[in-house]
Amino acid sequence: MASSAVKPLLMAMTFFISSGCSISSMYPAAGATIGGSIGGVAGGGNPVTAGAGALAGYSAGKAAQAVTKHKATIQALSEGDVSELVKQGLVQAKKDGFFDGIVSEFYGLLKLVCIGLIGWNAVQLVLHYFLKREVRKNGIAKEV
């Protein structure tokens, strides 16, 4: 049995099976693998050049994935087709759903309230710190 030929085949099959539904989801992983291999060979086995090559390959793969994913939007922008852009926005809104939009808005409001509450408490803590310091220094608080 040719086990040396089976191992790369199994690795390739695992790579394709774990890539998800679309072929474009494999672009970053393939780019990192190829970039790391080229960087390792070009640097004479240096891990720094292999890492830099993997980073460059991953970046190129993500760029290719973004171009593939947003191909219609890029084409509509280049042609100046406003109706196509509006249609794509409506399709995306339909995919996201009404409830998801409300939940994301609620989380945004909740984040703002938490930031305001933290700010309010920080102001109170600082105010009381300076007031306590003045009481310790003078023995009496300044009239407010």
**Tens digits of per-residue pLDDT, 86-135?**
777 777 777 766 677 777 888 889 999 999 999 999 999 999 998 888 88
Q: Residue 1: its pLDDT value, please?
A: 47
Is there a contact between 28 and 67 (Cβ–Cβ < 8 Å)? no
- How distant is the alpha carbon of residue 87 from its chain centre? 26
Q: What is the pLDDT of residues 23-65, one digit of tens each?
A: 777 778 778 888 888 888 887 778 888 888 888 888 888 888 8
Q: Domain coordinates of the chain in residue numbers?
A: 1-96, 97-144
In this structure, what token pair is assigned to residue 100? 């998801």
